[in-house]
Amino acid sequence: MAVKNKITIEQKYLEVGHTQMEVDAMHSLIERRMRNRIINVPADYLQIIESARTNPFDVKYLEHTFFKDFRNISSYKSIRPGRSSGDPKVTDIRALMYSSSGEISYKLRFEEPWMLLPQRKSPYSAKSFEEMQNLYQTRLKIKARKYDDLQQIKEVLPADFREFYNNLPHN
C-alpha cells in the first residue's frame, strides 16, 4: 500500500495492558447492547452492533469472497530483524515503517532510530485489492460433528431461521 500510494506508513505495536484504545470503549458498548438479546443467526449481530450507539456503527457483513490471498505478493519473506539465535525476533519489534520505495524499517524500542530490515526483497508488483486472488473459492466448511450439533439445536429456533443451518457447508 505504501508503494502503490507513494506514502510512508508507520505501524506501532502497543504494550499489552498499558494502553486503552477507542475500540475498547466500542467493544464495551456493543457487549452491553448484546445482553438479553436473542441471536438466531450470525446476521442478527449486524443490527445489534449498528444500533449500539445513537450514531450507528458502519458494519460490513463479510463473506468468503472478501478475504484475499497475500502469500504471493509480499516483497519480504519475513519481518524478523535477525536470523541467528540471540538475534531480535518478530515479537521484539515495537514499530515498523513501510516506505514508498518498498523498504521496511523497524524499531525495537520507540526511542531508538529506525533500522533497515535486513532482507533481500523479492520481485513485487503492487496490485489493487480487487486484482488479488481470493483466499477462499467457496464458503469454509464446518466439521460434521459441529453441523450435527447445530442441526439438533436449530429445532428450538423459530422455523424462519432453520434454513440457514440446513445450508451450512460441512464435511
pLDDT tens digits along 70-94: 877 766 677 888 888 888 888 899 9
Same domain flag for 65 and 148: no
Same domain flag for 82 and 160: no
Q: What pLDDT is stored for residue 80 in this prediction? A: 84
Q: What pLDDT is stored for residue 120 in this prediction? A: 60
Cα–Cα nearest to 2, from 132, 100, 103:
100
What band does 121 get if pLDDT is binned at 50, 70 and 90? low
Which range marks the domain in which residue 150 is found? 141-171
Q: Judge if pTM exceeds 0.85.
A: no
pLDDT tens digits along 5-43: 889 999 988 776 666 677 788 899 999 999 999 999 999
Q: Which helix (H) or strand (E) holds 28?
A: helix 22-34
Backbone angles phi, psi at 42, to 5 degrees: -55, -35
Same domain flag for 69 and 81: yes
Same domain flag for 68 and 92: yes
Same domain flag for 75 and 146: no
DSSP state, residue 100: T
Scored b (16 or more CB within 10 A) or e, 96-131 reads bbbbeeebbbbbeeeeeeeeebebeeeeeeeeeeee
Same domain flag for 67 and 146: no
Average of pLDDT values for 50-63? 92
Same domain flag for 15 and 31: yes
Same domain flag for 83 and 7: yes
Q: What is the CA radius of gyration of the chain?
A: 22
